[in-house]
């Protein structure tokens, strides 16, 4: 789901500015001109693009990992993550190719996506079960694909249509832009993308105001007749502070048009120390994110529910602090977060025989024989903490080792028995006495290689 993917207009605005200079847009119309954004969580850490021509700026990203859960599930399945898919194996989570096109203010961005994320992310979108044609297959290899036009008004206005990244949850969809690899619950359970139309307005070089008209909450299609509405406000009073707010309203319960969702996501990023040429501590920064959301109508209320009309809401927060060393070639990050989501309407569903999703061959049934319930009012509270160490010999590559602990108040993570079958293989018949082994906590270590050109 998401979240943020990256920060397409804001977090890559240094590269955008270079492209605008190539098309003779006046520097006075460059948003966030002259601000160093390479330190920000969820942003491109490069200070320049290497694959740049007059009309095209290319991008290549490779995200590979090896992760081990100390629960050691027999099927190697990772539960509750969009960054990871399998344990104890070298995996390519994402291989991305594409870039930005521009000609006389016409603009387009296309990014291709291969690897486990092309399966992990689309499986969470149930809008594909409405109507004909397999949308999750049609779009799974496109994390971003849109076209639009740039108007030379104020410091720029962009109008784009297609599939673009969400900013809800702060983290970028591309792991090379994030301080942590396994996103906290706040980010991993909110949208990574939107499919629709957006308008980005830059009244000053310190402010972005953005409006969305989208199919829905991280959905390729629409669940009901009502579209989703939302927007973003990003303000940088200077290059050491970033403040952003994202808000969304829509009807995203399949077949329940009378149930509506509201979500507010807010972040503060502060770089409180900056000595880029220091061989000791070269800079320090923190990011703080808080989310509040709810569903209401058609049998549920936002807060204060009861057994007859249960409450469904989303309250979460996360905090990370990062310290760079030796001219920003090394970095240490520590942080975590907490989430409560009664109704489980945003909880990433377990995989395998614990999946509550419809069976592709029979949508009236769930894919799993022991599905993780998502009934109105079902409780879910989780918290997580992590720490990692990065080596960044140059701006194109990161070597990362990360330790993660995640906890929930209900069985959720894959235990030693896995979520697939008694021996972990999908080809093994399921005995009537077998059930997925879900547990309330997991500890894992992640080794990641993140490349960007």
- Domain assignment present for residue 425? The answer is yes
* Residue 412 pLDDT class (50, 70, 90 cuts): very high
pLDDT at 396 over 60: yes
How many independent structural domains does the chain possess? 1
Reported as a single tens digit per residue, the pLDDT across 69-87 is 999 999 999 999 999 999 9
Strands (E), 302-414: 312-325, 330-340, 358-359, 362-366, 381-394, 397-408, 413-414
- Domain assignment present for residue 19? The answer is yes
- Domain assignment present for residue 437? The answer is yes
Residue 127's SS3 state is helix
Domain that residue 286 falls in:
13-452
Q: What is the CA radius of gyration of the chain?
A: 21
Predicted confidence at residue 29, as pLDDT, reads 57
- Domain assignment present for residue 308? The answer is yes
pLDDT at 249 over 60: yes
pLDDT at 294 over 80: yes
Task: Name the percent of the chain lying above pLDDT 70.
Answer: 92
Domain holding 45: CATH number?
A: 2.40.160.10
Residue 283's SS3 state is strand
Cβ atoms 390, 330 nearer than 8 A: yes
Residue 68's SS3 state is strand
Residue 27's SS3 state is helix
Q: By C-alpha distance, which of 278, 274, 383 is closest to 40?
A: 274
- Domain assignment present for residue 442? The answer is yes
* 231-236: long-range pairs with CB below 8 Å, 24+: 232/167, 232/208, 233/207, 233/208, 233/209, 234/10, 234/167, 234/207, 234/208, 234/210, 235/206, 235/207, 235/208, 236/32, 236/35, 236/206, 236/207
- Domain assignment present for residue 2? The answer is no
Token pair belonging to 362: 């029979």
Reported as a single tens digit per residue, the pLDDT across 324-345 is 999 999 999 999 999 999 999 9
Distance CA 409, CA 293 (A): 20
pLDDT at 143 over 70: yes
pTM confidence score: 0.90
């Amino acid at each position: 789901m998401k979240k943020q993917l990256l920060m397409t207009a804001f977090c890559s605005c240094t590269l955008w500015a270079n492209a605008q200079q190539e098309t003779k847009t006046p520097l006075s119309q460059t948003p966030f001109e002259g601000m160093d954004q390479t330190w920000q969580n969820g942003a491109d850490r490069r200070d320049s693009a290497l694959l740049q021509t007059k009309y095209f700026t290319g991008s290549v990203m490779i995200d590979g990992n090896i992760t081990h859960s100390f629960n050691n599930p027999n099927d190697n399945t990772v539960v509750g993550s969009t960054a990871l898919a399998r344990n104890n194996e070298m995996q390519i989570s994402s291989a991305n190719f594409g870039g930005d096109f521009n000609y006389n203010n016409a603009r387009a961005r296309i990014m291709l996506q291969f690897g486990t994320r092309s399966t992990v992310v689309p499986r969470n979108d149930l809008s594909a079960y409405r109507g004909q044609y397999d949308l999750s297959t049609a779009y799974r290899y496109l994390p971003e694909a849109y076209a639009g036009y740039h108007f030379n008004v104020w410091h720029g206005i962009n109008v784009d249509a297609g599939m673009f990244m969400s900013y809800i949850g702060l983290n970028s969809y591309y792991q090379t832009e994030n301080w942590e690899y396994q996103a906290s619950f706040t980010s991993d359970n909110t949208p990574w993308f939107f499919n629709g139309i957006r308008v980005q307005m830059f009244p000053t070089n310190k402010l972005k105001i953005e409006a969305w008209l989208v199919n829905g909450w991280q959905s390729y299609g629409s669940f009901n007749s009502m579209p989703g509405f939302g927007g973003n406000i990003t303000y940088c009073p200077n290059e050491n502070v970033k403040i952003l707010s994202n808000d969304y309203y829509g009807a995203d319960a399949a077949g329940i048009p009378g149930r509506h969702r509201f979500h507010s996501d807010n972040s503060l990023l502060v770089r409180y120390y900056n000595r880029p040429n220091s061989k000791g501590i070269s800079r320090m920064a923190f990011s703080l994110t808080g989310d509040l959301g709810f569903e209401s109508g058609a049998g549920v209320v936002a807060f204060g529910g009861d057994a007859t009309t249960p409450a469904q809401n989303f309250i979460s927060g996360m905090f990370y602090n990062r310290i760079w060393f030796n001219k920003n070639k090394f970095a240490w990050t520590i942080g975590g977060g907490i989430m409560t989501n009664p109704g489980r309407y945003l909880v990433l569903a377990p995989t395998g025989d614990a999946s509550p999703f419809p069976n592709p061959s029979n949508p009236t049934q769930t894919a799993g024989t022991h599905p993780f319930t998502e009934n109105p009012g079902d409780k879910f509270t989780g918290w997580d903490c992590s720490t990692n160490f990065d080596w960044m010999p140059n701006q194109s590559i990161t070597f990362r080792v990360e330790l993660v602990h995640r906890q929930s108040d209900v069985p959720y993570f894959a235990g030693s028995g896995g979520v697939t079958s008694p021996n972990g293989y999908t080809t093994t018949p399921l005995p009537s006495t077998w059930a997925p082994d879900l547990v309330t906590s997991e500890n894992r270590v992640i080794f990641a290689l993140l490349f960007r050109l």
